[in-house]
Structure 1
Amino acid sequence: MTNRLSAEQRGDLVQALLPEAAGLVTAVREESQEEITARLRGMSHYELEVAAVILAAMVDPDRDLGEVFAWVSFDEYGDPLSRVTPSKRTARDLQSTAVPRGLGVDEVAVERALAGDRLPLNQWERSLAVDRGIRRGMDYDLVAERLGMEREAVKRSWERSKRKARAEGRYVPKQQVGEIAAAA
Structure 2
Amino acid sequence: MSEMTPQERGDLVEMLLPQAAGLVVDVHDGSAQDIQERLRGLSRHELEALAVVLAGLVDPDRSLGEALRWVDFDERGEPLRRTPARTVVAVREAASAMPCGRPSVRVDEVAVSRALAPGGGEVPLNQRERRLAVQVGIRRGMTHAQVGERLGMSVDAVQRSWERWKGKGLPVRSVA
TM-score by length of 2: 0.51
The question of 1:56 aligning with 2:55 is answered yes
* Matched-pair contact (CA < 8 Å) for 1:65–1:89: yes
- CA deviation after TM superposition for structure 1 residue 79, in Å: 2.7
- CA deviation after TM superposition for structure 1 residue 10, in Å: 1.0
For 2:12, the equivalent position in structure 1 comes to 13
Supply the AA of the counterpart residue of 1:73.
Answer: D
* Alpha-carbon distance in 1 for matches of 2:102, 2:50: 23
For 1:92, the equivalent position in structure 2 comes to 92
Which ranges of structure 1 fall in alignment gaps of 5 or more residues?
103-184
Counterparts of 1:1-184 in structure 2, within 5 Å, are 2-81=1-80, 83-86=81-84, 87-95=87-95, 96-101=97-102
- CA deviation after TM superposition for structure 1 residue 59, in Å: 0.8
- CA deviation after TM superposition for structure 1 residue 78, in Å: 1.9
* Matched-pair contact (CA < 8 Å) for 1:63–1:91: yes
* Matched-pair contact (CA < 8 Å) for 1:24–1:39: yes
Structure 1 residues 127-152: Cα deviation after superposition (integer angstroms, max 9, x where no partner): xxxxxxxxxxxxxxxxxxxxxxxxxx
TM-score by length of 1: 0.49
Question: What is the number of residues matched between the two proteins?
Answer: 100
* Alpha-carbon distance in 2 for matches of 1:99, 1:30: 31
- CA deviation after TM superposition for structure 1 residue 80, in Å: 3.3
* Alpha-carbon distance in 1 for matches of 2:23, 2:98: 28
- CA deviation after TM superposition for structure 1 residue 58, in Å: 0.8
* Matched-pair contact (CA < 8 Å) for 1:70–1:84: no
* Matched-pair contact (CA < 8 Å) for 1:66–1:85: no
